[in-house]
Chains A and B, each alone.
Chain A
């Protein structure tokens, strides 16, 4: 009887510890972000009030100053153009290669895989220093195309590794059967492999859009005034001569919210992509 009660107590205690930890973690993650979100609807006076105000009259002023009267709508369209463009090019370049990687081993495949992996590992700034000069020679500096190409470089490893995995899940026998029946390799790729990998293709493209939308270093170094993306616009609001906190927070929230909504649609691919396929999400 006594031992029974002790084990029950111990069980109860472990439950309390476990759920307490979970609650703390959830609060620790959500509170700062929620606070940032709420703050974007506050007047300046309410934001700096001490102790922090929980009840206040919400306002859209921050967003109005930023996107209607400010020039941040342009940053947003830049972000959108660059994210979509770089994702499209990365898919066009990466998907055939990923298919070939999943089907046939060759020395060239090894070289491709090695080069692509090293793009993830070599620091972006170390590549951005020569790219800055290189792009000025080529006339790509400060253009959308230049940043798109840099973001393709940033995304290509994700495309290759994710798509290789998705193609690997399609049985080889399917396209071999098509080849035996007289289908050309191109047709086998477009008519059989790509449609079967369509869900993976969708997940990969959403992942690439998110990554490009969030990317900072290349966009920061290689953009001019008119091609700045949303993340690059954030530090311009926090300067030595004073911070426009309201607008900075509004831009941050605008950068974050679409990404989080998109992310929930591709949860599994996300973890796989962020770990470069090392973990099956």
Chain B
């Protein structure tokens, strides 16, 4: 590169200038990025991941926020992409189908979560009580590893009205054949049962590993003092196991909130809209009614609801305490 002074005056030596400029540049960049955020050698390993997250996670979410203020109804393509303000939100929030799906989801999460936690703790105690539990732990992993879609198909197969084994057995015992997947409340129950079957083993494993890592001394002391099993459970096991229980509630709660695959293959949201939970409602709005504007608004609402969960998750089990 030719170094010529425009005014004809001699320039100071190259090295000094660049150094000085670089320093100034770095100084400004540092102020810009607030404490050498990206311009530090230690930031290098994070950069590819950060770029990927910007490209694949932040951008779509920003786009979704943008779409939620626009008219994107592909089924009615007039005025596509026009800015409509908060109309999508107000329409969604005044839609009774939306609130019904929210209500169903909340009920579903509470029922399934309670059942899974109670069953998980009971089974973990049972597992702790037997001698050779190693092969049992492997068996418990099997449903956990089955894809949700496969479990959904299995559920549809087992509870099928015409040839499922469960209705047949009930018919054999009670004399009447229940239409398990055609009656709203029954279909809902069957869905919850399948979900509980699928994920209780994981919770059992979590609680089991929590139980066997508890210290033994308090139990010995309680035994000497004549405490019953229930007292030991209430005043020793529960408090000591609390971190694991909280972790289990958060992890399962998040996954239950996202339930979709099983519904799609088992009931398809039906009968009617009985098993249409929030995720399925988004799917229907976006990819069956092609109303992407409304779906984006629901998505934004969902993400906003989940943000506090992210914060709780980060601070309890996500390693946030170590990172700071």
Q: Which of A129, A256, A281 contacts B292 (CB 8 A)?
A: A129
**Is A33 a contact of B154 with CB atoms below 8 Å?**
yes
Flag whether A139 is at the interface (Cβ < 8 A).
no
**Is B149 a contact of A275 with CB atoms below 8 Å?**
no
Interface set of A (CB-CB < 8 Å, partner B): 14, 18-19, 21-22, 25-26, 28-30, 32-33, 35-36, 39, 47-48, 50-52, 92-94, 96-97, 99-101, 104-127, 129-134, 149-150, 152-153, 156, 160-161, 164, 185, 189, 210, 213-214, 216-217, 221, 231, 234-235, 238, 245, 248-249, 252, 255-256, 259-260, 263-264, 267, 270-271, 274-281
**Is B129 a contact of A18 with CB atoms below 8 Å?**
yes
A267 to chain B: which residues have CB within 8 Å? 137-138, 141
**Is B317 a contact of A277 with CB atoms below 8 Å?**
yes
- Contact A19 to B130, CB < 8 A, known contacts A26-B139, A100-B46, A108-B46: yes
Flag whether B286 is at the interface (Cβ < 8 A).
yes
B102 to chain A: which residues have CB within 8 Å? none
A213 to chain B: which residues have CB within 8 Å? 147
Q: Which of B38, B58, B157, B197 contacts A28 (CB 8 A)?
A: B197
**Is B314 a contact of A129 with CB atoms below 8 Å?**
no
Docked complex Cα distance between A185 and B49 (Å):
18
Docked complex Cα distance between A93 and B52 (Å):
8
Smallest Cβ-Cβ distance to B51: which chain A residue? A93
**Is B153 a contact of A248 with CB atoms below 8 Å?**
yes
Q: Of B16-24, B92-100, B215-223, B251-259, which binds chain A?
A: B251-259
Docked complex Cα distance between A266 and B153 (Å):
26
**Is B163 a contact of A48 with CB atoms below 8 Å?**
yes
1/0 per position for B289-309, CB-CB distance to A under 8 A? 000100110110011001101
18 new A-B pairs (CB below 8 Å) besides A115-B58, A124-B258, A234-B153? A18-B129, A28-B197, A33-B142, A47-B163, A93-B48, A112-B46, A113-B319, A126-B64, A129-B295, A153-B56, A164-B319, A214-B149, A235-B264, A270-B144, A270-B145, A271-B206, A275-B206, A278-B317
Smallest Cβ-Cβ distance to A219: which chain B residue? B149
Interface centre among A28, A32, A235 (most CB of B within 10 A): A32
**Is A108 a contact of B302 with CB atoms below 8 Å?**
no
- Contact A133 to B292, CB < 8 A, known contacts A245-B157, A252-B153, A267-B141: yes
**Is A275 a contact of B303 with CB atoms below 8 Å?**
no
Docked complex Cα distance between A250 and B82 (Å):
47
**Taking chain B's interface residues, is the majority helix, strand, or loop, or is none over half, making it mixed?**
helix
B265 to chain A: which residues have CB within 8 Å? 234-235, 238
Flag whether B192 is at the interface (Cβ < 8 A).
no
Q: In the complex, what's the smallest C-beta–C-beta distance from B226 to chain A, in angstroms?
A: 15
- Contact A152 to B43, CB < 8 A, known contacts A123-B258, A134-B63, A263-B141: no
Docked complex Cα distance between A116 and B318 (Å):
10
Q: In the complex, what's the smallest C-beta–C-beta distance from A149 to chain B, in angstroms?
A: 6
Interface centre among A94, A101, A149 (most CB of B within 10 A): A101
**Taking chain A's interface residues, is the majority helix, strand, or loop, or is none over half, making it mixed?**
helix
Flag whether B148 is at the interface (Cβ < 8 A).
yes
**Is B154 a contact of A36 with CB atoms below 8 Å?**
yes
Q: In the complex, what's the smallest C-beta–C-beta distance from A153 to chain B, in angstroms?
A: 5
**Is A113 a contact of B323 with CB atoms below 8 Å?**
yes
Flag whether B146 is at the interface (Cβ < 8 A).
yes
**Is B49 a contact of A281 with CB atoms below 8 Å?**
no
Docked complex Cα distance between A7 and B4 (Å):
102
Docked complex Cα distance between A93 and B56 (Å):
13
**Is B56 a contact of A152 with CB atoms below 8 Å?**
yes
Flag whether B15 is at the interface (Cβ < 8 A).
no
Interface centre among B123, B154, B197 (most CB of A within 10 A): B154
Docked complex Cα distance between A129 and B298 (Å):
10
B264 to chain A: which residues have CB within 8 Å? 235
Docked complex Cα distance between A245 and B143 (Å):
21
25 contacts between A and B (CB under 8 A): A22-B130, A32-B197, A33-B154, A47-B163, A48-B163, A105-B323, A107-B35, A108-B46, A111-B50, A112-B50, A117-B314, A118-B57, A118-B306, A119-B57, A120-B254, A127-B61, A129-B64, A131-B60, A132-B287, A156-B53, A216-B261, A217-B260, A238-B153, A264-B138, A267-B138
Flag whether B232 is at the interface (Cβ < 8 A).
no
Nearest 8 Cβ contacts at the A-B interface: A96-B45, A214-B147, A126-B299, A278-B317, A130-B64, A278-B247, A130-B60, A100-B45
Interface centre among A115, A121, A260 (most CB of B within 10 A): A121
Q: Which of B34, B53, B307, B323 contacts A101 (CB 8 A)?
A: B323
**Is B146 a contact of A104 with CB atoms below 8 Å?**
no
Q: In the complex, what's the smallest C-beta–C-beta distance from A4 to chain B, in angstroms?
A: 19
- Contact A270 to B287, CB < 8 A, known contacts A101-B323, A130-B299: no
Flag whether B320 is at the interface (Cβ < 8 A).
yes
**Is B295 a contact of A110 with CB atoms below 8 Å?**
no
Q: Which of A112, A130, A216 contacts B49 (CB 8 A)?
A: A112
**Is B209 a contact of A99 with CB atoms below 8 Å?**
no
Q: In the complex, what's the smallest C-beta–C-beta distance from A278 to chain B, in angstroms?
A: 4
A189 to chain B: which residues have CB within 8 Å? 45
**Is A274 a contact of B149 with CB atoms below 8 Å?**
no
**Is A231 a contact of B145 with CB atoms below 8 Å?**
no
